[in-house]
Amino acid sequence: EADIYQTPRYLVIGTGKKITLECSQTMGHDKMYWYQQDPGMELHLIHYSYGVNSTEKGDLSSESTVSRIRTEHFPLTLESARPSHTSQYLCASSESVEGGGNSPLHFGNGTRLTVT
Amino acid sequence: QKEVEQDPGPLSVPEGAIVSLNCTYSNSAFQYFMWYRQYSRKGPELLMYTYSSGNKEDGRFTAQVDKSSKYISLFIRDSQPSDSATYLCAILRSNDYKLSFGAGTTVTVRA
């Protein structure tokens, strides 16, 4: 049973709208991440945080922003959604450095975003 | 060039068959090698990890790493319909401790 929760699971929204994708975890992990996943493509890291008030951009450039005000909460915001933002967004957390053997990533079940 | 290349599949096999999944990587600084399994409409979950060349077994699953060839494999013995999923290889970069993922191989095990 996943201890990391993402809402909404599915979102269809019009161009230009502001959206926030929610992610919460109950494991007390300091490290949290946002990945983007498109069919047949690699997962790409778009944002990560190593603790409260710490956020960094990942490998893939993204117009989204994130915040980390509480350890358990790591929301992702798009100020003005566009069709190019259509994708699946996966949130993850880990106890230690990313995926390092004994500290695997724990993923949520994702938010599938469609921008029309 | 992608850091991690994964055989794209998809694969469809009968129940009981051996499934072989493969990835190659380009960066010799990679140090941890993982396989994640992702069921439909779910997030990935860690299946196995290893950090050395050779084989590591866990039940019906065997992870194999050949650092000299920069090649990793996952074998599933006696495959079951419940093994139907997308399998993602992932490798930890030692310079920044970030994961590089393969694109995934979707496996269907037919009953």
- Mapping DSSP onto H, E and C, the string for B55-111 reads EEEECCEEEEEECCCCEEEEEECCCCHHHCEEEEEEEEECCCCCEEECCCEEEEEEC
pLDDT tens readout for residues B29-70: 777 899 999 999 999 999 999 888 889 999 999 999 999 999
Residues B51, A90: C-beta atoms closer than 8 Å: no
Residues B97, A98: C-beta atoms closer than 8 Å: yes
Q: Is residue A71 scored above 60 in pLDDT? A: yes
Nearest to B101 among A43, A106, A110 (CB): A43
User: Average of pLDDT values for A78-87?
Assistant: 96
Q: How confident is the model at residue A97 (pLDDT cuts 50, 70, 90)?
A: low
**Mutation target among B101, B105, B106 for the A interface, most CBs of A within 10 A:** B101
Task: Say which range, A101-105, B65-69, B81-85, has the weakest mean pLDDT.
Answer: A101-105
Q: How confident is the model at residue B18 (pLDDT cuts 50, 70, 90)?
A: very high
Q: How confident is the model at residue A100 (pLDDT cuts 50, 70, 90)?
A: low
Tokens 């949520």 locate to A108
Which residues numbered 34-93 in B keep a CB inside 8 Å of some CB on A? 34, 36, 41-46, 49, 51, 88, 90, 92
- A45 alpha carbon, distance to own chain's centre: 9
Residues in chain A, how many? Answer: 116
